[in-house]
C-alpha cells in the first residue's frame, strides 16, 4: 500500500482541484450564462476521450477475452466514480442478459455509498485490499479502477492487490502523467482540465468516465456476439416495454408479421436470439439453443448465408 502522506500531496496538486478561468466569475452569472459556460466546457470532454480511443480499444479486447474465458469484470471507485461503475455494471444485465456475477462494481464505503457520502471511505487502503480479496479476484478477471484525480487510496490499493493476484488491470483517470498502481496494464487518461466548480469531479471528469465505461462494456458485449446489426438481441424483457422491443427486433430481422414474432418469442421464453434462430432454421427452441451453443460467437451465421462471409471480408 502507498504511504498516505505521499498520496495526499498528490491529491492537493491534482489538475481536477485547480481553478478554471472560464468559470472564475460564475457566481455572478445568470442561469443562461451558467448553462452556456458549462456547455462550452462539456464540449471538451468528448475531444479528450477521443485522444484515448486506442487505449479504450485495448480495454474492450481485454474485457472481451476475460468474459469469454469465464472471467469477470470489476469496476472499482469511490464517490461519483464508484457510482458510475455501479450504474454501468447494473445496466449490463437487462441490456445484454449478463449475470450480475459477470460484471460487478466495488464502491468505497459499500452499497450505502450509492446514495450517501461515507466519510473517509475513499482514503481506506485496507478496505480496497479487503474488497479484492473478498471477491476472490484472480487471473481470469479484469479490474477497472476509476479515480478522477488518480490518487484515490481505496482505488489504488484495490488495483495493486488485484495486480498481485494476477488480474488484468485498467486505470481510468483525468490526471495528467499519473503514477500507476500496477506494472502492466491499460491507462485511459482523458485530460478534461479543471472543473467548472474546482474539485467537483462529478462534472467533466464524471462525464468522461461515463463515456469510457459505455464504450468498454458495450464494445466487449458486441465482440461477444450479444448484438446483431445494432440491435440488442439478448435484451432481458423484464417489462412490457422490453417485451415490445423484443417483438420489434424479431419482426425486423426475420421480416415476419408481428404475430409470428410474438409466437416465436413465447416458445423461446422471450429470448430474441433463440426466437431468431428458430425462425431462420425452422427448428424448436431446444434445437435453437443447441445450435447456438455449438456455434458460440459465430452463432449469427445461423441467420443467413451472407453474414459470415461479410464478416470475413471486413477482417481481410
> Could you confirm whether 2 is annotated as catalytic?
no
**CB hemisphere CA count around 71 (13 angstroms):** 22
- The SS3 call for residue 74 is strand
Whether 195 and 38 have beta carbons less than 8 Å apart is answered as no
Q: What is the DSSP letter of 179?
A: P
Could you count the other beta carbons within 10 Å of the beta carbon of residue 301? 14
* Given the residues 55, 122, 234, 271, the one annotated as active site: 122
122 tagged catalytic: yes
Identify the active-site residue in 2, 61, 91, 301: 91
Quick one: CA torsion of 315, 46, 91, 266, rounded to 10 degrees?
-50
Q: For 101-259, list the strands marked E by DSSP.
A: 103-107, 142-146, 168-172, 186-188
For residue 106, give the C-alpha cell: 466495488
Q: CA nearest 73: which of 106, 45, 119?
A: 106
Residues marked as catalytic = 91, 122
Amino acid at each position: 500500500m502507498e504511504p498516505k502522506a505521499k498520496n495526499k500531496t498528490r491529491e492537493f496538486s491534482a489538475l481536477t482541484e485547480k481553478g478554471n478561468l472560464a468559470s472564475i466569475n460564475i457566481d455572478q452569472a445568470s442561469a443562461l450564462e451558467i448553462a452556456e459556460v458549462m456547455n462550452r466546457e462539456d464540449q471538451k470532454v468528448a475531444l479528450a476521450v477521443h485522444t484515448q480511443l486506442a487505449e479504450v480499444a485495448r480495454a474492450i479486447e481485454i474485457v472481451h477475452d476475460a468474459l469469454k474465458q469465464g472471467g469477470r469484470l470489476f469496476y472499482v471507485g469511490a464517490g461519483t466514480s464508484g457510482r458510475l461503475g455501479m450504474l454501468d455494471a447494473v445496466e449490463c444485465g437487462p441490456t445484454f442478459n449478463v449475470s450480475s456475477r459477470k460484471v460487478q462494481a466495488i464502491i468505497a464505503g459499500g452499497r450505502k455509498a450509492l446514495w450517501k457520502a461515507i466519510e473517509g471511505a475513499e482514503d481506506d487502503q485496507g478496505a480496497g485490499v479487503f474488497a479484492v480479496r473478498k471477491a476472490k479476484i484472480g487471473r481470469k478477471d479484469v479490474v477497472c479502477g476509476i479515480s478522477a484525480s488518480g490518487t484515490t487510496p481505496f482505488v489504488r490499493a484495490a488495483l495493486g492487490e488485484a495486480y498481485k493476484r494476477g488480474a488484468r488491470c485498467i486505470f481510468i483517470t483525468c490526471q495528467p502523467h499519473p503514477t500507476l498502481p500496477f506494472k502492466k496494464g491499460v491507462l485511459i487518461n482523458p485530460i478534461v482540465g479543471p472543473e467548472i466548480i474546482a474539485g467537483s469531479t462529478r462534472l467533466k471528469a464524471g462525464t468522461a468516465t461515463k463515456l469510457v465505461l459505455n464504450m468498454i462494456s458495450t464494445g466487449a458485449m458486441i465482440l461477444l456476439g450479444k448484438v446483431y446489426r445494432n440491435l440488442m438481441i439478448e435484451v432481458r424483457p423484464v417489462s412490457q416495454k422490453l417485451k415490445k422491443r423484443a417483438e420489434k427486433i424479431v419482426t425486423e430481422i426475420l421480416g415476419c408479421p408481428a404475430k409470428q414474432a410474438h409466437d416465436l418469442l413465447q416458445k423461446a421464453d422471450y429470448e430474441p436470439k433463440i426466437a431468431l434462430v428458430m425462425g431462420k432454421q425452422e427448428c424448436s427452441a431446444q434445437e435453437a439453443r443447441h445450435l447456438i451453443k455449438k456455434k458460440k460467437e459465430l452463432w449469427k451465421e445461423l441467420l443467413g448465408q451472407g453474414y459470415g462471409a461479410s464478416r470475413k471480408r471486413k477482417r481481410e
